Amino acid sequence: MLAPLQRLGDAPRRAALLGALRRAYLLALAALAVPGLLIGVPFGVTSSPAPNSAALLGLGASALVCAALALGLAHRKARPAVPGTPEGRDLSVQAAIQAASAPAVPLLMACTQLRSPLTLLALLALTLLALAVGWASLTLWARRAGRPDAAPGDAALTDPAVTG
C-alpha cells in the first residue's frame, strides 16, 4: 500500500503522484475510521436517540463545520506546492492525509446516531460529500505539484536507451 509513496522520487509525474495521493488518502481515512467504527457503533447501539431536533441539527452543523475546516486546512497545506519539487510532492501527500479527516468526522458522528435514522442518513450523506470533495481535490493537488506527464511522442526524449 505504501510502495507508490516510496517510488515517487524527487519530481514525480502527475499520474504517479495522483495514484500515491489516492492511496495515502484512503489509508489515512481507514486509519481514522476503523478505530472510530469499533468505538462508535457499540456506543450508537447502546445510547438513546437524541432528545430533540435542535440537538440533531447542532450535531449536523458541527459535522459540516468540522469537515469544511479539515478540507480548508488541507487546501491551505497544498497551496504553496511548487511543481516538480520534493517539497511540492511532500506538501501534496501531507494535504491528502490531512483531507482524510473531512469524511471521517461525520462518519464517526453518524456511528453514534444509529438509533436516529434521519440524523444517521444526513450524516452519512455529508460523509459521502466530504469524501467526494476530498477525492476531487487530490487531482488538483497532483496537477499542481507533479511534473506534466510525457506526451506519446516524447518517449525518445526520456528513454535512457535512446539518450545513451
SS3 at position 147: strand
pLDDT confidence band for 131 (50 / 70 / 90): very high
Judge whether residue 80 has pLDDT over 50.
yes
Q: Taking Cα atoms as reference points, which of 19, 18, 33, 2 lies closest to residue 102?
A: 33
pLDDT tens digits, 22-55: 999 999 999 999 988 898 888 888 887 766 778 7
| Alpha helix (H) residue ranges in 47-116 | 53-78, 86-99, 101-111
Judge whether residue 158 has pLDDT over 80.
no
Rounded Cα–Cα distance for residues 137 and 123 (Å) = 21
Judge whether residue 101 has pLDDT over 90.
yes
Rounded Cα–Cα distance for residues 80 and 3 (Å) = 25
pTM value is: 0.80
Distance of CA 47 to the CA centre of its chain: 30
- Dig out the grid coordinates for 13 from the structure: 509525474
